[in-house]
């Protein structure tokens, strides 16, 4: 028995070796179930937990419902959001004025009066030239068509040749049964402006009234919000997030405003050197449009080119106007803005474009103006809240 037993193969050591190698492999290779706890591995591969599917579906439904609510309630929600964003910018100034011994209401009146005087002065400087250009818009369009006629001749010839080919290939019976053309009369520019004036005035009035009350309230809403927080940690986090949003948004918008004013002055000076009329008007337009990323520069270049085409003698001189605008805008966006704002407020360009498209589709031009500030507020909140920090990483540049 002993000899037979000694002749038997040793089966213990291989088993022990295989067990140690398996343990070593399990230590070196990551466990997929540990990395993705919501994934279940079946016979056909990994499957998603039904609870994850339900949460994703509910998130998509909630997002779609929110977009629909923002769109259909835009006349009420847009002035409210605009007033809150403007209050974030003005609140540091109001707080400094209140440190002089004035109440929040008196400080709000002082700041509101100064802002009103500046706004009226700005509107008075550009209203006269803008009104004249709007009144002569039909004649301006005719002049643009006349000056662009040499460039459009090849396309006109191509159109004519295409029409001739269509006439040759069509049957005589089809030529006799041509449908009668119906001409739809478009509303005039003055009529369109009058139709939108009422809504703009209502939005402006609501925004200004709500902004004044927010400025006069001071930190009253923040104190109430801190009061309803259950724990001391939540109270501190609420105050910290509020201060961070206020500080960074106000710094961002004030810096962007200073940059836009500088760009408008530079573009207006360049257009004045070319001999274009009303350079102050076009400089102000450039400063306002620069709040809208990407699309603002394209719209501004198109407007400047049309005005230069009507005002200047040659096509080459007219092309110099958008060239000056484009070069100055490139310097501003690539060197001046990153240098002044730094890395803390840099946003992902893809997310900026998506925010611009979404808010522009929901709230029009006003939404496009608020797209970047709202995206910046979302990034600040995500950076301060631990569960949302991963989203903040995607929003950052």
Query: Residue 340's pLDDT is what?
Result: 79
pTM of the model: 0.71
Please tell me whether residue 223 adopts helix, strand or coil conformation. Answer: helix
Q: Could you tell me the CA-to-CA distances from 308 to 278, 295, 318, 324, 325 in Å, in that order?
A: 11, 20, 5, 12, 12
Residue of 396, 344, 352, 391 lying closest to 371 (CA atoms) = 352
| Contact assessment for residue 380 and residue 245, using Cβ atoms and an 8 Å cutoff | yes
Q: Taking 80 as the threshold, does the pLDDT of residue 233 lie above it? A: yes
What residues form DSSP beta bridges with 41? 46
| Contact assessment for residue 254 and residue 89, using Cβ atoms and an 8 Å cutoff | yes
| Contact assessment for residue 31 and residue 22, using Cβ atoms and an 8 Å cutoff | no
Mean pLDDT of 285-302: 89
Query: Residue 8's pLDDT is what?
Result: 45
Q: How does pLDDT run across 113-160, given as a tens digit for each residue?
A: 999 999 888 888 888 888 888 888 788 888 777 777 766 666 666 666
Q: How does pLDDT run across 58-117, given as a tens digit for each residue?
A: 888 988 898 889 999 888 899 999 999 999 889 888 888 988 888 989 999 999 999 999
Assign 22 a pLDDT band (cuts: 50, 70, 90): very low
φ/ψ (deg, to 5) at 47: -125, 150
DSSP letter, residue 387: G
Query: Residue 342's pLDDT is what?
Result: 65
Helices (H), 136-231: 137-147, 149-169, 172-176, 189-217, 220-228
Q: Where are the domains of the chain?
A: 248-338, 347-397
Helices 315-331 and 232-274, packing angle to 10 deg: 150
φ/ψ (deg, to 5) at 208: -65, -40
CA dihedral 188, 189, 193, 194 (to 10 degrees): -30
Query: Residue 151's pLDDT is what?
Result: 64
Q: Between residues 215 and 35, which one has the greater pLDDT?
A: 215
């Amino acid at each position: 028995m002993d000899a037979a037993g000694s002749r038997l193969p040793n089966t213990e050591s291989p088993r022990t070796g295989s067990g140690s190698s398996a343990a070593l492999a399990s230590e070196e290779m990551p466990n997929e179930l540990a990395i993705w706890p919501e994934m279940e591995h079946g016979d056909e591969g990994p499957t998603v937990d039904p609870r994850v599917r339900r949460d994703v579906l509910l998130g998509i439904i909630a997002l779609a419902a929110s977009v629909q609510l923002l769109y259909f309630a835009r006349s009420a929600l847009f002035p409210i959001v605009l007033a809150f964003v403007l209050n974030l910018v003005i609140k540091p100034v109001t707080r400094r004025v209140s440190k002089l011994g004035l109440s929040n209401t008196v400080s709000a009146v002082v700041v509101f009066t100064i802002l009103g005087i500046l706004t009226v002065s700005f509107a008075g400087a550009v209203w006269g030239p803008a009104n004249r250009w709007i009144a002569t818009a039909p004649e301006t369009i005719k002049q643009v068509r006349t000056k662009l006629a040499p460039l459009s001749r090849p396309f006109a010839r191509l159109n004519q040749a295409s029409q001739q080919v269509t006439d040759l290939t069509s049957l005589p019976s089809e030529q006799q049964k041509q449908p009668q053309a119906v001409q739809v009369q478009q509303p005039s520019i003055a009529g369109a402006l009058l139709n939108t004036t009422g809504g703009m005035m209502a939005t402006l009035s609501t925004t200004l009234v709500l902004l004044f009350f927010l400025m006069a309230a001071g930190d009253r809403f923040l104190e109430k919000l801190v009061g309803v927080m259950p724990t001391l940690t939540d109270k501190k986090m609420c105050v910290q997030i509020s201060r961070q949003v206020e500080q960074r948004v106000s710094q961002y918008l004030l810096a962007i405003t200073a940059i836009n004013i500088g760009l408008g002055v530079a573009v207006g000076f360049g257009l004045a050197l070319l001999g274009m009329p009303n350079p102050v008007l076009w400089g102000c337009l450039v400063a306002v449009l620069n709040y809208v990323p990407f699309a603002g520069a394209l719209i501004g270049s198109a407007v400047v080119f049309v005005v230069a085409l009507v005002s200047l003698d040659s096509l080459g001189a007219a092309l110099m106007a958008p060239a000056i605008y484009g070069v100055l805008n490139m310097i501003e966006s690539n060197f001046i803005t990153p240098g002044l704002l730094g890395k803390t407020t840099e946003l992902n360009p893809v997310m900026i474009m998506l925010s611009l498209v979404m808010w522009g589709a929901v709230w029009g031009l006003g939404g496009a103006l608020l797209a970047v500030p709202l995206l910046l507020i979302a990034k600040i909140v995500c950076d301060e809240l631990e569960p949302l920090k991963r989203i903040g990483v995607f929003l950052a540049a």
